[in-house]
Amino acid sequence: MGSTDALDRLLVTGGAGFIGSAYVRDVLGRRDGTRITVLDKLTYAGNEANLAPVRDDPEMAARLTFVRGDIADPNAVGPLVGRADAILNFAAESHVDRSILDPAAFLTTGVVGVHVLLEACRSAPGQPRFLQVSTDEVYGSVDVGEADEQAPLAPRSPYAAAKAAGELLVRSYVITHGIDAVVTRGSNTYGPYHHPEKLIPLFVTNALDDRPLPLYGDGLQRREWLYVSDHAAAIDLVLRHGMRGETYNVAGASERTNREVVSLLLEYLDKPWSLVKQVEDRPGHDRRYAMDGRKLAALGWQPTMSFEKGLAATIDWYRANEAWWRAARSGEWDDWYLRQYGQRLATATSALPPGSGVVD
Ligand code: NAD
Ligand code: DAU
């Protein structure tokens, strides 16, 4: 397959998560011929409320089917894959810190789950297209320059290793079994409906409650930020126009240190820097991610949202959707937070303010 717009029946795994739900909302809103089945296990990170804007619109709701199930379960996957023109695999355990504490589920979903999906594609009569949503973390820390799609895979966390393994399985099925598959590698994504365990929503929601903001190490790690609707648009473009067997970087092109991100968000929230606590670093913490985005630019995509505007829109969304994030910070949240941050916060120091003492 070279390119086509005629992919009308989509199976979106992980469609109740952050980026998957943005994709579903976006595509059902823009393409009135498209029907989507979401297959989602509803882990702590999945939330059907992320699909509420679709459910609240009768016309879009009629084109959405939700199935609760596990991508590692062939009985759940087989019939759904058999009825789809294309499968987009967003399903994953997505938090690096949790992969350090409890890696098993990362491997089950990221490797076994991908294998189950690929086997189902292989035996499906219609030869559906398969898109694997991957990450810039597969390149490991990129201390200078930018990684293009040919750069070696050098994952450094259990999360990144599981994502790299999933990608390699996809590649093997393209070569060995002739599956029609493409891979995207996205950079750090942010925006509405982002689970509050991740840097930006954690710090925004903690700051709204005047709680400490646990900044790892010196805070000079660098990430390339990508607004979630830009990421969803890139994935849809690769689904429809990506070349079979190819991989595409989705580069946010907004590189910032974590200190810069925190400084900006505190300024927008009108909260003091004194909330920021310097805590013990993440083990194996990747210093920098940076990707060359020219291959996807040649396909016709570029990010449309500046980081400053995207961050402001994100913070406005969290302010307006307190019930959503308080629900996400319930259940297992307190136990997990204590495990992840209890000791760190007990031994924290005040982080030096931006521009003083640390070379920013
Ligand atoms: P998320 O954690 O918000 O959502 C993951 C979703 O997958 C949840 O709805 C969860 O319930 C579901 N899920 C987990 N295990 C499952 C299983 N075994 N079967 C079915 N559903 C399952 O994650 P996200 O941030 O939306 O990330 C989505 C994808 O994008 C992931 O593959 C991630 O690796 C990739 N990615 C994320 C980013 C980022 O910055 N968030 C950047 C690049 C790539
Ligand atoms: O780069 C793409 C990846 O981005 C995705 O593949 C992952 O699914 C996604 O979670 C994200 O991974 P990161 O580890 O970069 O994101 P996180 O929000 O966890 O952390 C961003 C940076 O902030 C990182 O340098 C660690 C730092 N950090 C994070 C947290 C949660 C802190 O300093 N303190 C924190 O409490």
Tell me the pLDDT tens digit for each residue of 109-126: 999 999 999 999 999 999
Residue 359 confidence (pLDDT): 52
Confirm whether 322 is domain-assigned.
no
pLDDT digits (tens, 9 = 90+) for 295-321: 999 999 999 999 999 999 999 999 999
Q: Residue 109 is part of a domain; what is its CATH number?
A: 3.40.50.720
Residue 81 belongs to domain spanning: 9-193+226-254+285-306
Taking only the tens place, the pLDDT of each residue in 81-100 is 999 999 999 999 999 999 99
Report which ligand 1 atom has the smallest distance to the Cα of 198. 41
Which residues have a Cβ under 8 Å from the Cβ of 242 and sit 6 or more positions away?
A: 3, 131, 182, 184, 248, 299
Counting from 1 in the atom list of ligand 1, the atom nearest the Cα of 70 is 19
Residues with Cβ within 8 Å of 164's Cβ and at least 6 positions away in sequence, in order, are 134, 138, 153, 155
Average pLDDT on 2-28 reads 90
pLDDT value for 344: 97
In this predicted structure, what is the pLDDT of residue 353?
A: 81
Q: Which ligand is nearest to the CA of 93?
A: 1
- Rounded to the nearest integer, the mean pLDDT of the chain is 96
pLDDT at 3 > cutoff 70: no
How confident is the model at residue 1, as a pLDDT?
A: 44
Task: Name the strand (E) or helix (H) holding 87.
Answer: strand 86-89
21: buried, middle or exposed (CB in 10 Å: 19+, 13-18, 0-12)? buried
Q: Residue range 229-250: average pLDDT?
A: 98
Return the higher-pLDDT residue of 231 and 2: 231
199 Cα to the center of ligand 2, angstroms: 6
Model confidence at 354, pLDDT cuts 50, 70, 90, reads: confident
pLDDT at 352: 79
- pLDDT over 50 at 106, yes or no: yes
pLDDT at 355: 65
pLDDT at 4 over 60: no
Q: Is 178 inside any structural domain?
A: yes
Residue (of 174, 151, 152) closest to 243 by Cα position: 174
Question: Given this model, what pLDDT does residue 200 score?
Answer: 98
Percent of the chain at pLDDT above 90?
Answer: 95
Of the candidates 80, 58, 83, 62, the residue with the CA atom closest to the CA atom of residue 71: 80
Which residues, at least 6 apart from 115, have a Cβ–Cβ distance to it below 8 Å? Answer: 169
Instruction: Return the ligand number nearest the Cα of 162.
Output: 1
What are the b/e assignments for 245-258, b being 16+ CB within 10 Å? Answer: bebbbbbbbbbbbb
> What does the pLDDT read at residue 83?
96
Ligand 1 contacts (CB < 6 A) are 13-14, 16-20, 39-43, 45-46, 70-72, 90-94, 109, 113, 133, 135, 163, 186, 188-189, 195
Residue 314 is assigned to a structural domain of this protein:
no
Residue-wise pLDDT for 132-151, tens only, equals 999 999 999 999 999 999 99
The answer on pLDDT for 234 being more than 80 is yes
How many residues in total does the chain contain?
Answer: 360
Q: In this predicted model, what pLDDT tens digit does every residue of 259-269 receive, in sequence order?
A: 999 999 999 99
Please report whether residue 187 resides in a domain.
Answer: yes
CA of 203 to the centre of ligand 2 (A): 12
Res 5 pLDDT > 80: no
User: Does residue 318 lie in a domain region?
Assistant: no
Residue 274, in any domain of the structure: no
For the chain, the domain total comes to: 1
With a cut of 60, say whether residue 76 has pLDDT above it. yes
In a domain, 162, yes or no: yes
CB of 184 within 6 A of ligand 2: the answer is no
**pLDDT for the residue 70:** 98
pLDDT, tens digit, for every residue of 331-349?
A: 999 999 999 999 999 999 9
Residues 164-198: pLDDT tens digits?
999 999 999 999 999 999 999 999 999 999 999 99
CA 44 to ligand 1: nearest atom: 11
Residue whose entry in the numeric block shows the structure tokens 């759940």: 76
Give residue-wise pLDDT tens across range 241-253: 999 999 999 999 9
Instruction: Indicate whether 347 belongs to any domain.
Output: no
Mean pLDDT of the 192-207 span? 98
